[in-house]
Structure 1
C-alpha cells in the first residue's frame, strides 16, 4: 500500500511574524520586515540591512537554563517545534517513540554562538593562544549541529531516526524531503521536521560582502529585497525557523487530525558546476521539478502557484525563470509566481521550511503571496511574477523550489488533500 505524507501541524518564527496567524497576516498584507541591522553596529560593512526576528526567549517560553545552553538558531527551532506539536494536537506519550523521527535543516548551525565564544576566548581576536578556562560549558553543542536535532527530538520524545540536513540554502526543503521519504518508506509514522538559521552576525555578513551577494541598498532597507525587479542588486540576509509535523495519512486519519496539506513529491539535484555560479538554462532545477512531478504522478499543468527561490540576485532570478519554462512548458506563463524573500529576507537553510509553511497557508487560505517591491519588471523575467499585493485565488497544488551554493537545486509539491485523487 502506498504511504502518503500529510502536514498536521506547523510552527514558524519569521521576521515580522511569529506563529502561523501573524505570518499569514504578513504574507497577505505584503508587508516587509527588512531593516537596518540592530544586532551589532553594521557600519563597517558593505551591506547593512537584514530581516531580524523580534524574538525574546523568555517571552517565547524558554527557561533561563534552556536559553543559556541553546544557540539562537536552536532556540528558534525548539519554539517553532513546540508550536507545531501543539497545532497538530499530538501528545507524545500517546505515540510509539520508535516510530517518531526528527529531521532538521540548517546551513550555518550555531554561527552566532561560535563567533561570540571566539571573541571571548581570543579577547576579541587579540590572542592566538586562547585560554580554554573562558569557554562556555555548552561550546561543544555549538560545534556540532546535531545538538539542534537532539533538542527538537526532546520536544516530541522522538526515539526514531534523528538527522541534521545541511545542504546550504536548500536545507529547509531537503530536511522536509528527507522526512517525507522516511514516511513513504515506512521508517516512521510521525516526523517533526523543518529548519532553522540565525546567521545575522558579523562573520556571516562579512562573508557575503566579500562575494557581493547581498544588497548594498542601505538607505532604503524596507525596499531593499527586490526579487525579479530590474533594479535588484543582491539578497537581504534573514533569520528564522519553521517546523512541521508530518504524518502518514492513515495515522493522521485514525486520530482525527486536521490535515493542512499533503506532500506529493520531492526531488533534488546538483549542477556539479560551480560553488556559487548558475548555468543560465536552469537545467538542474528543471530536472528536480520534473522528478518531483513524476513522484507525485502529476503533469506540470497541475501547478497552480510557484513559490520561487527568488533571492534577488540577477543570476538566480534568470536561472529559475528558465527552469520553470523548461519544466512546465507553456503552463509556466499561466502560473503565478512569487518570492516571499522580498518580505522576510533570505534565512539561508531555514528559508525552505518557512516557504513550505507559506505554501501550505496559500492552499488553506486561497492566497498567492506577493513579491513585495517588484515595481520595474526585468524583461528576462517574463512570467506572472505577482507584484506588491497578494492575489485571492484558489490554490490546489503548489510547487516550491530552492537553489543553494554548491549547485543544489530542490523542488517539492504540496496539494490540498484529495486533489488529484
Structure 2
C-alpha cells in the first residue's frame, strides 16, 4: 500500500561524479565554480571527417580509479563511470553496514547505453563494415552485457549489496532527472529506505557524432572548441557532446537522520510531460515544460516565488534556449525575471542521459555551498532570451530551493525540485 504523500521524504546523503575534466565531486564543483570549460578536439578517435569534431571528454584513467584489468576488459566505459561514481557516493554517504540489503535498491539512467563497446564490436564482427553477414565468433564474450543496459544497474547493485528494487530508466536526455525522481518515489512509497540512483553515458563515438552531424544539433566551431557551447547567446549554434556520470545515495529522511548522515538536499518534487509534437522539434512557447515545472513545484508544496535558482537544460540550440526561457516565464511568472538561471553544459558539454544527473548534483552542491555556477561563454545576450543567466562568473547566493529542467528527443520534458535540508514543508 502506498504511504500517504508527505509521510516519507527522500534526501540526498551521498554524491559521486565522473565528469569532463578530472573525476570526483570536488573536482567537478571546482570546475563549475571557476567557470572553466572542458570542450576540446576529440581525442578518443579520429574525428577529422565529421562536421563537429569536438567534445567534453573525461580525463578518466580506469586503473587510477581503482578498477581491475578484468573489470576494464568486461565493462563498457559507461559502466566504468557508473561504478566509480556509485563507489564515491557510497563512501560519501558513510552508509556501509547501516542499511538493510532488502530495503536498498538501485536505479540507473542512460540514453545510449554501451555505445562505445557496441560501436567497436560491430566494426570487429563486420570487418570494419565490409561484411553484411557478420562473424559473431570474433565478438567479445561480454557482448550480451553491452546490448542490455540493465547489466550496468546490476553491477551497481552488487557494489552496493542492494537486494531491493532495481531498474533502468532510458528516456533520452531527461533520463538523469527521471531516474532520481523515480528512485525518490520508491522511497516515498515505502518500497525502499535507500536507493543508489544516478545516470551514466559515454557516447563520444563515430556513430553518435555522425547522428548529431546529420541533424546539425552540435556546434561546428571546431577552431574554438573551448567556447563553442554558448547557451542563451545570440551567436549559439549547437551543443558540444560530453560524457560522464553522477550517482547519488538517496535515503528516507528519518533513516538518514537516525544515523546522523549529512544531508545535501531533499528531492522535494518531480514531474514529466511530453509535447506529443515532434521527435526533435520544440514549440517555442514551452507549454509542456512549464506544465512539468508547475507539477514538480506542486509536489514539492512550493510557490513559484520560492524558487531561488534554475539549472537550465541550456543546450545552446536555437530552439531549445528560447523554448525553455518561455517555459520559465510561463511557470514562474514575474518571478522568472528575478531568478538566476544558468547552464553547466556551457562548461561540461551535453552528456545525453547523464547530463541531468550531473545537473542534479550541481543543484545539490549549489544548495550546500551557496554558490551558483555561471553560464560560460555568454558574451552576446540574445534579446529573446532576456532572463538572468549568470554570465561568465559564479555568484555567491543562498539557495533554499533549486529547480532543474530537461528536454529530450521524443518531446520529453522533465523538472525536479531540490530543497535545503533545513527547509520545512507546508
Which TM-score bucket, shorter chain as reference? over 0.9
> Following superposition of structure 1 onto structure 2, how do residues 377-392 of structure 1 map, counting pairs within 5 Å?
377-392=381-396
Q: Does 1:81 align with 2:86?
A: yes
Equivalent pair of 2:363/2:402 in contact (CA under 8 Å): yes
Distance 1:63 1:154 in 2: 16
The aligned residue for residue 288 of structure 1 is: 292
Compute the displacement of 1:19 (Å).
Answer: 1.1
Detail structure 1 runs of 4+ shifted over 4 Å in the superposition.
none
Q: Per the alignment, in what secondary structure is the counterpart of residue 405 of structure 2?
A: strand
TM-score between the two structures when normalised by the length of structure 2: 0.98
The aligned residue for residue 184 of structure 1 is: 188
Q: Per the alignment, in what secondary structure is the counterpart of residue 178 of structure 2?
A: helix
The aligned residue for residue 269 of structure 1 is: 273
Q: Does 1:217 align with 2:221?
A: yes
Compute the displacement of 1:132 (Å).
Answer: 1.5
The total of aligned residue pairs comes to: 420
The aligned residue for residue 203 of structure 1 is: 207
The aligned residue for residue 70 of structure 1 is: 75
Indicate which of 25, 34, 37 corresponds to 1:32: 37
Q: Per the alignment, in what secondary structure is the counterpart of residue 28 of structure 1?
A: helix
Compute the displacement of 1:313 (Å).
Answer: 0.2
Compute the displacement of 1:94 (Å).
Answer: 3.6
Q: Does 1:237 align with 2:219?
A: no
Compute the displacement of 1:297 (Å).
Answer: 0.6
Q: Per the alignment, in what secondary structure is the counterpart of residue 242 of structure 1?
A: strand
Q: Does 1:172 align with 2:207?
A: no
Distance 2:272 2:359 in 1: 16
The aligned residue for residue 366 of structure 1 is: 370
Indicate which of 106, 128, 149 corresponds to 2:153: 149
TM-score between the two structures when normalised by the length of structure 1: 0.99
Distance 1:72 1:16 in 2: 15
Q: Does 1:104 align with 2:94?
A: no
The aligned residue for residue 18 of structure 1 is: 23
Distance 2:23 2:118 in 1: 26
Gaps of 5+ in 2: none
The aligned residue for residue 325 of structure 1 is: 329
Distance 1:269 1:245 in 2: 26
Q: Does 1:50 align with 2:55?
A: yes
Distance 2:239 2:383 in 1: 20
Q: Does 1:344 align with 2:348?
A: yes
1:86-133 Cα deviation digits (max 9, x unpaired) = 000011x44211111111100000010000000011110111112121
The aligned residue for residue 14 of structure 2 is: 9
Distance 2:391 2:99 in 1: 44
Indicate which of 357, 360, 373 corresponds to 2:361: 357
Compute the displacement of 1:374 (Å).
Answer: 0.2
